[in-house]
């Protein structure tokens, strides 16, 4: 079981930029479940989406895999496709180390290659499914289009990009409503005002969120033929884009 997240519970003299270090690894499942509305629903749906788009003898990528929660869900979805392999990538060493232990605890026919590298360096080729589950939001904004283009280029025809992100509503008034609803969700999950405000300060510089419209335009620009939002809870959404 993951430890309870108390990282921002005490007043900090100055709040440093959020990073995925050992301290975060220890509390990560608790943190993400209590902070991201819909996280478990999105993971539960992944096997279904993966089994719809996986193709035999292709690679499936989990980019920004953290402890491998999405990797496990993807593995369930492609068990019946011969010759599939999952490449799971994260640039946080402590995350990858823990993911190795975690994934090793579950049996499967599908090989998983776990890599510690920056996803902007990952070679995407012969791919049927690429998952970015709450990861693109941490990639510097100026690198996002090239990242999505490389994913598109590496996908086989009919392949899919499954992406979930926190987003900003274009209408500021509506954005305020969604942000308030998210903060209520965090409060209901036991986070204090101090934890909410210090966490907000910690992610401000490292998590620059896009609007849904920016995602849609980027998918279209790089060449995706079809796209839709398939899940939304407050200012968090999951989308799929098909080549």
Ligand X SMILES: O=C(O)C(=O)Cc1ccccc1
Which residues are annotated as part of the binding site for S-adenosyl-L-methionine?
A: 39, 64-66, 90-91, 118-119, 133, 200
Distance, CA of 92 to CA of 23 (rounded, Å): 12
Alpha helix (H) ranges present in the chain? Answer: 22-35, 39-53, 69-78, 93-104, 141-154, 172-188, 193-204, 212-222
Give the binding site for ligand GEK (CB under 6 A): 20, 32, 64-66, 69-70, 89-92, 95, 118-120, 133-135, 138-139
Site string for ligand X, 5-34 (x = CB under 6 A): -------------x------------xx--
Partner residues linked to 114 by β-bridges: 88
Q: At its nearest, how many Å lie between ligand X and the CB of residue 108?
A: 27
CA-based angle 69:208:122, to the nearest 5?
Answer: 50
Q: Is 65 in the site for ligand X (CB under 6 A)?
A: no
Residues 6+ away with beta carbon under 8 Å from 121: none
168 near ligand X, rule: CB under 6 A: no
Q: Which is nearer to ligand X, 199 or 243 (CB)?
A: 199
User: From the CB of 59, what's the least distance to ligand GEK, in Å?
Assistant: 17
Structure tokens at 214: 């920016």
Binding site for ligand X (CB under 6 A): 18, 31-32, 35-36, 166, 199, 203
């Amino acid at each position: 079981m993951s430890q309870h997240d108390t990282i921002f519970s005490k007043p900090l003299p100055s709040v440093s930029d959020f990073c995925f270090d050992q301290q975060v690894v220890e509390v990560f499942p608790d943190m993400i479940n209590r902070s991201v509305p819909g996280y478990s629903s999105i993971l539960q749906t992944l096997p279904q989406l993966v089994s719809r788009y996986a193709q035999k003898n292709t690679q499936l990528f989990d980019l920004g895999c953290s402890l491998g929660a999405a990797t496990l869900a993807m593995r369930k979805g492609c068990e019946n496709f011969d010759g599939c392999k999952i490449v799971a990538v994260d640039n946080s060493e402590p995350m990858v180390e823990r993911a190795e232990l975690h994934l090793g605890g579950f049996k499967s026919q599908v090989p998983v290659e776990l890599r510690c590298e920056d996803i902007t360096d990952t070679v995407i080729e012969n791919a049927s499914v690429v998952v970015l589950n709450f990861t693109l939001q941490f990639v510097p904004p100026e690198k996002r289009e090239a990242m999505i283009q490389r994913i598109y280029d590496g996908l086989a025809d009919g392949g899919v990009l499954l992406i979930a992100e926190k987003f900003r509503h274009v209408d500021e008034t509506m954005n305020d409503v969604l942000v308030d609803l998210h903060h209520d969700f965090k409060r209901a999950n036991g986070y204090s005002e101090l934890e909410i405000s210090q966490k907000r300060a910690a992610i401000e510089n490292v998590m620059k969120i896009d609007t849904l419209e920016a995602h849609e335009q980027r998918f279209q620009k790089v060449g995706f033929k079809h796209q839709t939002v398939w899940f939304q809870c407050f200012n968090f959404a999951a989308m799929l884009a098909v080549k």
